[in-house]
Amino acid sequence: MQNIYDNVLIVGGGLIGSSIARACREFGAAKRVTIADTNADVRTALNGLNICDKVTDTANPSDADLVILAVPPGNISDIAAYVLPHMKKGATLTDVGSVKADVVEKITAILPKDINFIGGHPIAGTEQSGPEAGFAALFTDRWCILTTSDEDALAAQKLKQFWQAIGSRVTFMDAKHHDLVLATTSHLPHLIAYALVGTATDMETVTRGEVIKYSAGGFRDFTRIAASDPVMWRDVFLQNKDAVLDVLGRYIEDLTALKKAVRWGDGETLLKEFTKTRDIRTRIIDAGQDSAKPNFGRDISGDEEE
């Protein structure tokens, strides 16, 4: 039991918030964890799950040493404005949002000088949402990115220890750079998957039943990503507009080049492009960020391998 903080208040009891609570208990990272959620169904679920010390409807942060905002990106700065005046001196506020520059700018503008704010983003999650979808190992060996101008400050180091205590690897990064990196590794992939699933299910020449039956050829992978929480993802694209438009523009250029190669029957270009993408998979597996097993080792209806 390391108890990095005495009292932790998590605002928002969904997939991420409830997983942090579970991990705090599993790894002994906090003496006492409270979850605040305005949704009565979520509170009922949380009480049934018994994963924290207290469940409440209003976020009262007066006792909290750490307040974690685990709400959709679009609500983070509003809720920060609500809790900051009631936080105790020396306490730390953080969040788990997938876009950082917008939130950091807004919260920094209203931050009392005796409260610490450090933006946070655990690169972890699943396509599922809600308190029942969470689990204690969600952050194990995943990266958590913290954004602060002073990573040597005591508050930043303590928050780093907290994330490490619940299983994460921690790195510090500039908020703007974070948003560009994540636009590439997360936001663009989601936009692409949402668009593809939309295209495939709106064809007048191929039925939805056919798309479902023959999805094992590749399509099914995209439907997992396109099943992610729509509200959270809407907020991500509203907040990270510039970086997303930048990488999306590059992507459309690259896709158009492949389209041209298909149209002209340019097998040489296709082979070259398809060959150079193979190596990155090996490096992601070597870095411990994905399974080495074929098809992610997915297990369907009791079969051993696929």
Contact 194, 137 (CB under 8 A): no
CB of 59 to its own copies, least distance (A): 24
Residues 196-225, interacting with its own copies (CB under 8 A): 196-203, 205-206, 208, 210-225
Residues 267-286, interacting with its own copies (CB under 8 A): 267, 270-271, 273-278, 280-284
Q: In what order do the strands lie in the sheet with 169-172?
A: 54-56, 30-36, 5-11, 66-69, 92-95, 116-122, 143-147, 169-172
- Contact with its own copies (CB under 8 A) among 39, 56, 128, 161: 128
- Contact with its own copies (CB under 8 A) among 112, 127, 149, 150: 127
Q: Are strands 92-95 and 116-122 parallel, antiparallel or unpaired?
A: parallel
Q: Which is nearer to its own copies, 59 or 232 (CB)?
A: 232
CB of 289 to its own copies, least distance (A): 5
Tokens 């954004």 correspond to 147
Q: State whether the Cα torsion 96-100-102-106 is positive or negative.
A: positive
The conformational region for residue 224 under phi > 0 = left, psi -120 to 50 = alpha, else beta, is: alpha
**What is the rounded distance in angstroms from the CA atom of residue 33 to the CA atom of residue 40?**
19
Q: Does 150 bind its own copies (CB under 8 A)?
A: no
CB of 63 to its own copies, least distance (A): 32
CB of 91 to its own copies, least distance (A): 29
| x/- track of binding to its own copies for residues 152-191 (CB under 8 A) | -------------------x--------xxx-xxxxxxxx
Q: Which is nearer to its own copies, 88 or 224 (CB)?
A: 224
- How far does CA 106 lie from the centroid of its chain? 20
Q: Does 291 bind its own copies (CB under 8 A)?
A: yes
